[in-house]
């Protein structure tokens, strides 16, 4: 067992999840990477070192979670840290979305947390620990043509607070990171869906007062803090990692 216990990371094959997994391994956790793409998970696990493990399955599929996660917990130990990072952006105004698109957005960004938590939470209760949910600046303010994503991330922030209250008696802290424009494959897909992808990317970089888009490593630093003893009195709290985006009054 690694010095700080075992960290389970969903959506770990790329972007924020991959960056966070690498950081948590450096912090001294044994990292268990969860996601759908086995090849990319294997690459990410290799970056995390020899102690890292991975499992490829669909975290939105209750049967797949049921068939995989309990055995992982038995094999690698109960979680001391959990990062719920599985995420997707499905673009469209509410009236433009098909029922399948709406449901898929909710399944990936929200229901996956429920499905994983059903197994990870009871395993964490005896010893306590820390959970971080990846929310968004969209948890606070909306973007046009992004209704399902905004709705799902608003729910993630509300769920963070509810879980924090339920976890406090068990020594489980629950917080959220709220990234702004972080250059990941998911965000690139959003840019690519726009009429002017390069203009959309340039606008995102210019939107933050710090004058750039963030990196997965920027978010991983905030996640590392929330899992650390330095955050021992922090729970139910969102931390914006947005380069100052939400501090600016548009004008």
CATH code, domain carrying 25: 3.40.50.720
Q: Is residue 205 part of a domain?
A: no
Q: State how many domains the chain has.
A: 1
- DSSP classification of residue 112: H
Q: Per the domain annotation, does 247 fall within a domain?
A: no
pLDDT in tens, the chain (251 residues): 468 999 999 999 999 999 999 999 999 999 999 999 999 999 999 999 999 999 999 999 999 999 999 999 999 999 999 999 999 999 899 999 999 999 999 999 999 999 999 999 999 999 999 999 999 999 999 989 999 999 999 999 999 999 999 999 999 999 999 999 999 887 887 788 788 989 989 998 999 999 999 999 999 999 999 999 999 999 999 999 999 999 987 76
142/162 Cα distance (integer angstroms): 22
In this prediction, residue 62 carries a pLDDT of 92
Asked if the structure places residue 193 within a domain, the reply is no
Residues with Cβ within 8 Å of 77's Cβ and at least 6 positions away in sequence, in order, are 1, 5, 6, 30
Q: Classify residue 198: in a domain, yes or no.
A: no
Residue 122 in domain: yes
Distances (CA, A) of 192 to 117, 123, 154, 189: 33, 40, 24, 5
- pTM of the full predicted structure? 0.95
Report residue 81: phi and psi, to 5°. -145, 140
Give dist(CA 178, CA 72) in Å, integer: 28
CA–CA dist 88, 107 (Å, integer): 10
Q: Which of 8, 29, 54, 149 is catalytic?
A: 149
Query: Is 54 designated active site?
Result: no
199 lies in some domain: no
Whether residue 153 lies inside any domain: the answer is yes
Establish if 251 belongs to a structural domain. no
Structural domain harbouring 85: 6-179+214-241
Give the DSSP H/E element, type plus range, for residue 64.
helix 62-76
Residue 1: what pLDDT?
47
């Amino acid at each position: 067992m690694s010095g700080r216990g075992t960290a389970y990371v969903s959506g770990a094959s790329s972007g924020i999840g991959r960056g966070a997994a690498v950081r948590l391994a450096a912090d001294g956790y044994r990292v268990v990477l969860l996601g759908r793409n086995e090849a990319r998970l294997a690459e990410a696990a290799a970056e995390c070192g020899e102690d890292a493990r991975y499992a490829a399955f669909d975290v939105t599929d209750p049967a797949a979670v049921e068939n995989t996660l309990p055995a992982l917990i038995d094999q690698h130990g109960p979680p001391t840290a959990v990062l719920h990072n599985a995420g997707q952006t499905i673009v469209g105004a509410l009236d433009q979305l098909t029922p399948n698109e709406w449901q898929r957005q909710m399944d990936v960004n929200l229901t996956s947390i429920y499905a994983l938590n059903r197994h990870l939470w009871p395993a964490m209760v005896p010893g306590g620990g820390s959970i971080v949910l990846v929310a968004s600046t969209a948890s606070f303010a909306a973007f046009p043509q992004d209704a399902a994503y905004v709705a799902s991330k608003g729910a993630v922030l509300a769920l963070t607070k509810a879980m924090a209250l339920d976890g406090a008696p068990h020594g489980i802290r629950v917080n959220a990171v709220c990234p702004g424009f972080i250059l990941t494959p998911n965000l690139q897909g959003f840019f690519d869906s726009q009429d002017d992808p390069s203009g959309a990317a340039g606008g995102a970089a210019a939107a933050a007062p710090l004058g750039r888009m963030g990196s997965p490593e920027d978010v991983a630093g905030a996640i590392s803090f929330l899992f650390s003893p330095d955050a021992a009195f922090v729970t139910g709290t969102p931390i914006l990692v947005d380069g100052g985006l939400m501090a600016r009054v548009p004008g």
